[in-house]
Amino acid sequence: MNLDINSFLLIPLLGFLLSLIIPQRKEHLLSQVAYGTAALNFACFLVFAVFWLAAGHPVLNVKDIVLYRAEGYEFLIDIYFDSVTAVYMIVGAFLTFIITMYSRVYLHREQGYKRFFNTILLFYVGYNITIFSGNFETLFIGWEILGLSSFLLIAFYRDRYLPSRNAVKVFSVYRIGDVGILLAMWASHHLWHENITFLKLHNYSLVHEHLQNHSAVGAFISLMLVVAAAAKSAQLPFSSWLPRAMEGPTPSSAIFYGSLSVNIGVFLLLRTYPFWEYQTSVRILIGLLGLTTAVVASMIARVQSSVKSQIGYASIAQIGIIFIEIALGLKLLALAHFAGNAFLRTYQLLVSPSVVSYLIHEQLYNFVPKLHTAKRFLPKRLEYALYLLSVKEWNLDSFMSRYVFGAFRRVGHSLDFLTLRNVLVFVLPVFVIGLVLLFQQAYLPPYIIPYLPVIFSFIGLGMVLKAFSERSSPLLCWVLILLYHAWIALAVAFNEQFQLIDVSTYLSGILIMGGIGFWGLRKLQSAETQYFALDRYYGHSYEHPKFAFWFLIACLGMMGFPISPTFIGEDLVFSHIREEQFLLAFFNSLGFVIGGIAIIRLYARLFLGSHVKTYHEVPYKSA
């Protein structure tokens, strides 16, 4: 059975790699590979499910590949299969097959036909890795792939302004969820003193013993998991990203934001349920979060003028109810509700153009207003207030923009004195002093050493906040992010367990991808001298498509995406941050998240959007 489980990850991966080498002009072959991959995976799973059920549906756990091993640390790919995985697998494989079949005609002769199917298969790889993950490290690999494929599909119409802008917005909210995952992984390292597997979470005596002795750490891990799940599943206050994600093609909206990707937060809660099951405060929080989201999203959905936005908010409301069911311990009901909601929303989104046409006809010829509704029992002032709030989507988007990302921008703008010249004059000498202090710790007063990692990490956070708010120089933004990673490595190196090999693992991908990206930016600057800034979307992918692709690869390496050793290095960094160094862990996780947003924004501003040169065709603005 172990070999069969691995095939569920290998089949989508092979399909994705095969789609990359098929030429754009061979549309039929591209679509065949896509829906053939989903169909083969679905068929293999049905066969596997028969034997699995006949064997008494046992819980399977496979320690697959150890990617990195050091003293007291092991980064391994762990595969886990149970009833939750089975439900998510069968729903995901069937819907992916349906969507790929639908898309081969829907996107016929579309300029980005190959790019669409490449991204759908990449999403399917990330989805399968996530639902088959047996530990947080494996789950985070799939989690990151889902975030990237979301960004690429929302920005599918990359020559338009709103898809490019909303792709960055959605990715930014996803990165907030990454804070929760990173801090939960860090705290779990110290709670269990190992890379805990989800199988061990079902050991009640083990979990109870650890939570009894470290109740605060347990509550913190649970809270971070709730934050991650809420951000991924568009629960309050993160709900505003879902209708913005509808800028992509209708098939991608159906599979991502109506059915599969938006329910990954539900999956996270179901997978970690044995951990927080007996934490009453966490269950109350999840229930209240789901209830509030269901009520608010239902009101917003009723006043939407776009059918896709209406379906999106209706899906959010249903996921809120699923959160309530999980909080009440009704896991089987939550799984059934997930499957039903996923099939319904996919169907609604795929037929939405026909529904709009039908409703217009119905409104013109057969519309009869209801004489009695529940709203007539509300005071008129309250009814109008709720209506206005719902039309404004309860100001959720402006709340995130002003009080979260706006706060980061304001802090970054306070560092506007940091130019390329000032970085070389002031920041680099301070970094050299930090290196000297690292190798001369024996001569430092003992009471100073615990503060140095936090100070250096805070300086690195300042670098990345400035990069996030930078609007003029892409080169400065890139250099600041490179320096941020150097500051983080320096800060954690003061912890005695962090060895030179760990530093090398973390910085290897950063230095290689950072060098490639810096060289690429210099080349782009020389080719597009007048159109090289971050104050607008320049759309350089129109004239430099190959360079846009390779620069995206460099950006992913800088973000710690699982294509370089830096991804393992991120987990290494957090595993070597001690339990009492909460500020260091918080600064590091916040820096990783904001740095990723700054990099994606840099890529989007340079390569996405309508082309700045007016002799190119300008598309119509989307709604």
Q: What is the mean pLDDT of the chain?
A: 85
Judge contact between 101 and 58, C-beta under 8 A: no
Q: Which of 135, 132, 146, 129 is nearest to 185 (CA)?
A: 135
Task: Report the length, in residues, of the chain.
Answer: 623
Angle at 398 between CA 394 and CA 402, to 5 degrees: 140
Residue identified by tokens 């600064």 is 587
pLDDT of 343 > 60? The answer is yes
**Distance, first Cα to last Cα, the chain:** 49
Q: What percent of the chain has pLDDT over 70?
A: 92
Q: Highest-confidence range of 339-343, 495-499, 562-566, by mean pLDDT? A: 339-343
Judge contact between 231 and 265, C-beta under 8 A: yes
Residue-wise pLDDT tens digits, 146-164? 988 989 988 888 888 888 8
Q: How far apart are CA 105 and CA 31, in angstroms?
A: 9
Judge contact between 203 and 258, C-beta under 8 A: no
Q: Highest-confidence range of 202-206, 493-497, 518-522, by mean pLDDT? A: 518-522
Q: Which of 119, 93, 148 is nearest to 30 (CA)?
A: 119
Q: Band of the pLDDT at 356, cuts 50, 70, 90?
A: low
**Average pLDDT of the residues in 515-525:** 90
Every domain of the chain and the residues it spans = 2-359, 414-607
- Bridge partner residues of 274 (DSSP): none
pLDDT of 212 > 80? The answer is no
Residue-wise pLDDT tens digits, 280-327? 899 999 999 999 999 999 888 888 877 888 888 888 999 999 999 999
pTM of the model: 0.91
Q: For the chain, how big is the Rg over CA atoms in Å?
A: 25
Residue-wise pLDDT tens digits, 560-594? 888 888 888 887 788 788 888 888 888 888 898 89
* 363 compared with 515, residue with greater pLDDT: 515
